Structure 1
Amino acid sequence: MTEQTFSPDRARSLRKFEDPDLTAKGETRAQVALAGLKTLWFNTGTLCNIACTHCYIESTPQNDRLVYLTTDEIRPYFEEIERDRLPVTEIAFTGGEPFMNPQMIDMAEVALARGFEVLILTNAMRPMMRPRVRDGLARLNAAYPGKMTLRISLDHFRRDLHDEERGDGTYDVTLAGMRWLRDAGIPMAVAGRTLWGDTDAESRAGYAALFKAERFDIDAADPGQTVLFPEMDEQADVPEITTACWGILGKRPEDVMCASSRMVVKRKGAAHPVVLSCTLLAYDTAFEMGRTLRDAARPVKLNHPHCAKFCVLGGASCSA
């Protein structure tokens, strides 16, 4: 990566995360090249059946800034993957609550039929538990055994803390959905949060006890099956990532999420979907990379607090 030179006056005038190439201290900002597209995300729409206290993407029953994707809109991306022989192995769906999208089962089926692993992020609440959706999930699981996983948002293994984040009674409703998935034999993973200061070991021990009591076939010790996400506060003071940080931190650019994933969204009022660099930056047009996967193959400049706290310093990944 070539170092760039900038005038001292320009460096002194910058604020953190303001310039895509230069940090506020005048150092060259780190960027991440696309090492190989492994996971393609689709945001099915930002509408959700609940409103969490700390939602990464501000999903609520009223937020339709990202509208529902359709099966016809995602097909061209599968065709592009096949045409360009891209190394995609996983198709992942997020929201909002994906099962509010009326075409969620159809979109998952199209991905499975093309041979991809499918990951669906859900709160396992009422949208997933509608009879039509449950019938569709059971049908897909029978037709493509072991190829589809539902990652359940269970913010904490304790009822009171989960409900503190998601609303009174949500823990019990989510557990009921997880029990249905367990009995239907549909593979599950869990996404938890680290808002309450538990250590990683404490969190995993708590989830392990819950999974054992509920007979959930989820490994609490496996970061791919029990993902613990850090708190995301855009107002927090986090360090900028420079080109020197990789060696200082002992990390590699290719291990950061945007080295192997992209996300497709459709903005309200837009004529067509676009590709973004990251699942967490859905509203920031600076991270919009074009309409096609080929357009989105260029490097990503780590010019957002989430890049530092979530991906580089937190080491978290949305993918399996």
Structure 2
Amino acid sequence: MEDFAAQANTQQANLGKFQDPHVTAKGEARASVALTKPETLWFNTGTLCNITCANCYIESSPTNDALVYMTRAEVEPYLEEIKTLGWPITEIAFTGGEPFMNPEMIGMMEAALEAGFEVLVLTNAMRPMMRKSVQAGLLKLAEQYRNKMTFRISVDHWSAKLHDAERGKGAFKRTLEGMIWLRDHGFNMAVAGRIAFHENEEEARAGYAALYGEHSFNIDAQAPGKTVLFPEMDMNVEVPEITTECWSILNKSPEDVMCASSRMVVKRKGADVPAVLACTLLAYAPEFELGSTLEAASGPVQLNHPHCAKFCVLGGASCSA
């Protein structure tokens, strides 16, 4: 679902790579990651969103319903399966699209909370979250589960100029209004942002720290799980393939990679049942669809995509806290 130009650039930059799931273009054994410590189960609530971002990795928009709305009835069997399998998952996370576009979002959160899980919601904190009915639902959940919920707000940059360049004029202001509402009602917040091409991570975190200080947001700018920063997505950059020898060369463990600790459930348009994917970043790559149950999706994941190298192994990306 990448747009045509970006897809063509990616293919050109990585010509001949990421073809065989087990062997790299150079004939070396491709690295894989086993599900060794399941901690987070993600649900994509649907790709519909109230805005269209310039570089959305999942192409969310007001018209993209490639991933349709999940329902509470579809979420609940997975919560039960976690317990049946004995997986040590502690966190249920919701992403989109914009999760609060989904009419069953409060119900899905409630199901996860009632089952004893922590809940993480990725949101832009804009109009869908700020509807009176949604606010009322969140405040009702907070009566019993306030400290079990965290809202990770998409703040693409600590400056209004660069945030709005990604999300549209006035988006920064509307997101801050949502964050202020969450702050004033005592909800836990985190932020997902990006490191702009012209700055390093230290500079980016300093910028976010200043933003939090200005608005009295109780968010740690230095903690990677509280201010999650991703590199800018440059689809023209050549990406190295990850081999089994890379772990020792990089002094890194497969357990550090996101697919060692999480899976994501989606519902494709026209599908009879949801599907379990290896990764939140690869919703449209069919080779990363692992089955319809968690048990079927418990096998190892071959790192056969540029995102595996750029964002997870080399970039250290993680979508969980």
Aligned to 2:299: 298
Aligned to 1:91: 92
Per-residue CA deviation, residues 11-61 of structure 1 (Å, 9 max, x unaligned), is: xxx910011011001100000001021100000000000000010111011
Matches within 5 A, 1:113-152: 113-152=114-153
Aligned to 2:290: 289
Please list every run of at least 4 consecutive aligned residues from structure 1 whose deviation after the TM superposition is greater than 6 angstroms: none
* Mapped pair 1:168 → 2:157: no
Matches within 5 A, 1:1-16: 15-16=16-17
> Which secondary structure does the structure 2 equivalent of 1:189 belong to?
strand
The amino acid of 1:34's aligned partner reads L
| CA positional deviation for 1:194 | 1.6
- Structure 2 gaps of 5+ residues are 1-14
Aligned to 1:268: 269
* Mapped pair 1:76 → 2:82: no
Aligned to 2:191: 190
Conserved in 2, the CA contact under 8 Å of 1:39 and 1:261?
yes
Aligned to 1:40: 41
Conserved in 1, the CA contact under 8 Å of 2:67 and 2:268?
yes
Conserved in 2, the CA contact under 8 Å of 1:189 and 1:225?
yes
Please, which moves more after superposition, 54-63 or 189-198?
A: 189-198
| In structure 2, distance between residues paired with 1:98 and 1:162 | 20
| CA positional deviation for 1:234 | 4.1
> Which secondary structure does the structure 2 equivalent of 1:121 belong to?
strand
Please, which moves more after superposition, 186-195 or 103-112?
A: 186-195
| In structure 2, distance between residues paired with 1:187 and 1:268 | 33
> Which secondary structure does the structure 2 equivalent of 1:120 belong to?
strand
Aligned to 1:6: none
| In structure 1, distance between residues paired with 2:237 and 2:136 | 44
| In structure 2, distance between residues paired with 1:96 and 1:84 | 29
Conserved in 2, the CA contact under 8 Å of 1:234 and 1:306?
no
* Mapped pair 1:225 → 2:226: yes
The amino acid of 1:192's aligned partner reads G
Q: TM-score, normalised by structure 2?
A: 0.94
Q: Percent identity?
A: 66
Conserved in 1, the CA contact under 8 Å of 2:157 and 2:196?
no
| CA positional deviation for 1:64 | 0.4
* Mapped pair 1:256 → 2:257: yes
| In structure 2, distance between residues paired with 1:235 and 1:95 | 25
| In structure 1, distance between residues paired with 2:74 and 2:234 | 32
Matched pairs, number = 307
Please, which moves more after superposition, 231-240 or 26-35?
A: 231-240
| CA positional deviation for 1:235 | 4.1
The amino acid of 1:248's aligned partner reads I
Aligned to 1:236: 237
Q: TM-score, normalised by structure 1?
A: 0.94
| In structure 2, distance between residues paired with 1:238 and 1:296 | 27
Aligned to 2:18: 17
Query: Considering only aligned residues, what root-mean-square deviation do their CA atoms show, in Å?
Result: 0.9
* Mapped pair 1:309 → 2:310: yes
| In structure 1, distance between residues paired with 2:172 and 2:237 | 28
| CA positional deviation for 1:198 | 1.4
| CA positional deviation for 1:232 | 2.7
Conserved in 2, the CA contact under 8 Å of 1:192 and 1:228?
yes
| In structure 1, distance between residues paired with 2:72 and 2:249 | 44
The amino acid of 2:130's aligned partner reads M
* Mapped pair 1:59 → 2:60: yes
Per-residue CA deviation, residues 220-258 of structure 1 (Å, 9 max, x unaligned), is: 011110000112344431000000000000100011000
> Which secondary structure does the structure 2 equivalent of 1:144 belong to?
helix
Per-residue CA deviation, residues 268-287 of structure 1 (Å, 9 max, x unaligned), is: 00000010000000011110
